[in-house]
Amino acid sequence: QVQLVESGGGLVQAGGSLRLSCTASRSIFSFNSMGWYRQVPGKERELVAVIRRGGISSYADSVKGRFTISRDNAENTVYLQMNSLKPEDTAVYYCNAVARYVATDYNYWGQGTQVTVSS
């Protein structure tokens, strides 16, 4: 069973920065992609950023230019650097990993970490 352990959430003022970390229990090369999602109460979970096995990353329009996803293969860790944070970035952030076996995608999730941005 894959485990994803997140850290780095917290309370920050608008304009500040946070870095989230997600460490996997096995090599991140085993995943087709890893990413970060976020969710606020009453809304669906939304994709924030994803990095694919080949290294290509993509972002939600709302975070482009402010957030950066990266990975450390040796540490089996994916990061989300969040700069210029806004109150609307407040959410629970979840790490996601997708593995593909025989044309079937398997999704794994972390436990979530709270990010709160005060105005």
pLDDT of residue 1: 85
Q: Tell me the mean pLDDT in the region 38-59.
A: 96
Q: How does residue 26 score in pLDDT terms, banded at 50, 70 and 90? A: very high
Q: How far apart are CA 17 and CA 44, in angstroms?
A: 24
Could you list the beta-strand ranges (E) of 40-103. Answer: 46-52, 57-59, 67-72, 77-82, 91-101
**pLDDT tens, position by position, 75-99:** 999 999 999 999 999 999 999 999 9
Predicted pLDDT at 111: 96
Instruction: Give the 3-state secondary structure of residue 119.
Output: coil
What pLDDT, on the 0 to 100 scale, is given for residue 64? Answer: 98
Q: What is the pLDDT of residue 62?
A: 98
pLDDT band at 66 (very low <50, low <70, confident <90, very high): very high
44-63 b/e (C-beta count within 10 Å ≥ 16 → b): ebeebbbbeeeeebebeeeb
**pLDDT at position 44:** 97
C-alpha span between 50 and 37 (Å, rounded):
9
pLDDT at 19: 98
